[in-house]
Structure 1
Amino acid sequence: MILHISLTTVYCLDQEATRDFYVEHLGFEPATDVVMGDFRWVTIRHPGQPLLEVTLMLPGPPLSPEAAAFVRGQLESGQMGGLGLTVDDCRKTYDDLSSKGVTFVQEPAERPYGVEAVMRDNTGNWLSLIEPRAFTPSDFG
């Protein structure tokens, strides 16, 4: 029986710089940092979800060279999706992160599911900050 999600991946171009961005700006904690042959496994986790680790993965094996080049291109052009992050006050979090130099591509806006702002991490991944509220499918009509 599956109990929960324990690992997800965010691609990046520099594991240390991306780890530091998530730790210093977003409140994540470093988790794993080990070298296994040619592979470096770097993970972070949020203190509010200690059982879920995010692998900060360089585009490379097991991706084919063509797939790795595509992912690198998507990162470099700021077109990769990242994570959805639940916040208690989207506007306040937006102000706090903006003051730290975090780049936003969308200011906080009312959505049927809550208030959402969209930022980029240091690699260009899009991260949604969501202050959720209850909704029904008819709210999207």
Structure 2
Amino acid sequence: MHIQFAELPVFNQPRAKAFYAEHLGCEVAADTPMGPSDWHWVELSFPGAQTNLHFLHRADEQPSDEPVMVIIDEKLVATIEAMRVKGVEIITEPQEAPWAPGRTIAEFRDSEGNRMILADR
């Protein structure tokens, strides 16, 4: 058993697809028009993961106050540094998670204003 996809609110699908491809190595698993609007059914796959990321339509571009997702990345420090170099907003530098001693986390904001956690395990 596994989860097919997790939903993430986005305002601009092409911008979000580009962000996740460039910074987290995602590939497009599905991109199908949904009716007469410009909105598509988009799923992205993470390298080595079974669960895809599905974009929900977001009503506005207000940034999220709380983290909306945790992404596991064994190369967390290198990924955060690569994001910083490319201008991604880093909210929290790599540090020990207050709820899990020995676990490193960092927070960043994606292209759609979502606050995300990157964790090493």
Question: If the TM-score is normalised by the length of the shorter chain, which range does it land in?
Answer: 0.7 to 0.9
1:53-64 aligned at under 5 Å gives the runs 53-59=52-58
In structure 2, the residue matched to 1:121 is 110
Q: TM-score, normalised by structure 1?
A: 0.74
Superposed counterparts of 1:25-104, under 5 Å: 25-38=23-36, 39-49=39-49, 51-59=50-58, 68=59, 72=60, 75-79=61-65, 81-104=67-90
Partner-residue secondary structure (3-state), 1:76:
coil
Structure of larger gyration radius: 1
Query: Which one has a larger percent helix, Structure 1 or Structure 2?
Result: 1
Q: Distance in 1 between matches of 2:109 and 2:78?
A: 17
Distance (whole Å) between structure 2 residues aligned to residue 108 and residue 80 of structure 1: 17
Q: Which structure exhibits the higher relative contact order, with contacts defined as CA atoms closer than 8 Å and separated by 6 or more residues?
A: 2
Contact 1:91 1:108 in 2 (8 A): yes
Give percent identity, aligned residues only.
Answer: 28
Q: TM-score, normalised by structure 2?
A: 0.84
Instruction: Describe the superposition over 1:70-119 as per-residue Cα deviations: whole angstroms up to 9, x where unpaired.
Output: xx3xx513325332111213322221221121111101112215111000
Length, aligned pairs only: 116
Code of the residue aligned with 1:121 in structure 2: it is: D
- Structural RMSD (CA): 1.7
| Deviation string, structure 1 residues 11-69 (Cα, Å, up to 9, x no partner) | 001011001100011111111111131452111111211x321111113xxxxxxxx5x
Query: How far, CA to CA, are the matches of 2:105 and 2:57 in structure 1?
Result: 28
Q: 1:12, 1:57 within 8 Å by CA — same for their partners in 2? A: yes
